[in-house]
Amino acid sequence: MNAPFEGKVISKVAAISRFTELADYIIPFTIRAVSELKVADTLQAGPRHVSEIAREVGANELALYRAMLALASKGIFAERERGVFEQTELSVLLATDDPMSLRDGYRLLHADIKAWSRFDYSLRTGRASFDIVHDQGYWDFCSTHLDYSRMFDNAMAAFTKLEYRAILAAYDMSQCRTIVDIGGGNGKLLSLLLHSLPNARGILFDQPHVVDKARPVFEAQGVADRCEIVGGSFFDQVPAGGDLYIIKRIIYDWDDAQAAQILGNVASVMAKNGRVAVVDPVLTAGNASDPGTTYSRIYDLLMLAMVSGHARSEEESRALFARAGLRLTRVVPTMLFPIVEGVKAG
């Protein structure tokens, strides 16, 4: 190797190492595989030898050891002595009984993963790669693959456990009498909100095969008697009379015409002094790399790959609201996605 070339390589080492960290998919897949096997659950009571862990989760011992060592280099599990692992601040988030558990959010969602393998298609066309690898749109796929649909609903519920805290901390709902959760999945958000707001009633609205599984979620929070469950399509009509319509992670799934139709259907039935609270990423331009900006951009791409959707800037949301007969009143920051609030226009 001649000297100038060597110098160039050395000066690039930090960049190469950072690049590798960003570009490799091996650690993310390993996290998801141990999540699938519920490896973290086995360490909740204290350190264990990998042979015991492997037996308990049905893994090949050497393969699991190799995976746990690789993850230990990233702070997920720690090898306390040879072959004996303990939980870390990160790995505990993969335990199913941790109150902040992310386990259901980071499983091997195989249909999503298959779509990512053709993300080049999305970049070329601006359309979801999901549709071409599965020959079906995301929501049609879920309605015909009910096990996958459950896995998806549980993934959403895992993030909702965090989002609901952020929403409650930032947004006053104490005066709400009827909260309608539009596209509310299996009811996780509404059940948690009703639990914290004892004077409110709720209506959960989502597709029939999704809300089918919601009753036990409300029962687990002790709020089933204050909640109505309605199945249908938000492109047809939505339940009337709510004074707060929460629309979390819905609008960014759709193009402007579809999103305006959903919001317009809400605007036409909401109470006179009602509010809509759209919980979605809000995009900004530029190179900011703070967690909020990064999170918004990542989810914007997820929408592109899965559903041909997109996140919006505040100005784009204002225009969308106006098209739907709503007036954007404010954007309320939360620790996660902001709340874009609107009221009836005029």
Ligand X SMILES: C[S@@+](CC[C@H](N)C(=O)[O-])C[C@H]1O[C@@H](n2cnc3c(N)ncnc32)[C@H](O)[C@@H]1O
Residues that bind ligand X (CB under 6 A): 139, 156, 160, 183-185, 206-207, 210, 233-235, 248-250, 253
Nearest to 207 by CA among 140, 254, 155, 258: 140
340 vs 329: CA distance, rounded Å: 8
At closest approach, how far in Å is the CB of 209 from ligand X? 8
The token pair that represents 81 in the structure block = 């002595």
* Residue with smaller CB distance to ligand X, 131 or 206: 206
Q: What is the DSSP letter of 177?
A: S
* Residue with smaller CB distance to ligand X, 30 or 258: 258
206 vs 161: CA distance, rounded Å: 18
Q: Are 190 and 204 in contact (CB under 8 A)?
A: yes
Neighbours of 255 (CB within 10 A): 11
At closest approach, how far in Å is the CB of 134 from ligand X? 16
Question: From the CA atom positions of the chain, what is the Rg in Å?
Answer: 22
At closest approach, how far in Å is the CB of 117 from ligand X? 21
At closest approach, how far in Å is the CB of 238 from ligand X? 8
* Residue with smaller CB distance to ligand X, 120 or 236: 236
* Residue with smaller CB distance to ligand X, 248 or 312: 248
Neighbours of 11 (CB within 10 A): 9
* Residue with smaller CB distance to ligand X, 57 or 302: 302
At closest approach, how far in Å is the CB of 157 from ligand X? 7
Pinpoint the alpha helices (H) of the chain: 3-11, 13-23, 26-36, 50-57, 61-72, 110-116, 119-125, 129-134, 138-144, 146-170, 188-196, 208-211, 215-220, 256-269, 291-307, 314-323
* Residue with smaller CB distance to ligand X, 61 or 139: 139
At closest approach, how far in Å is the CB of 79 from ligand X? 36
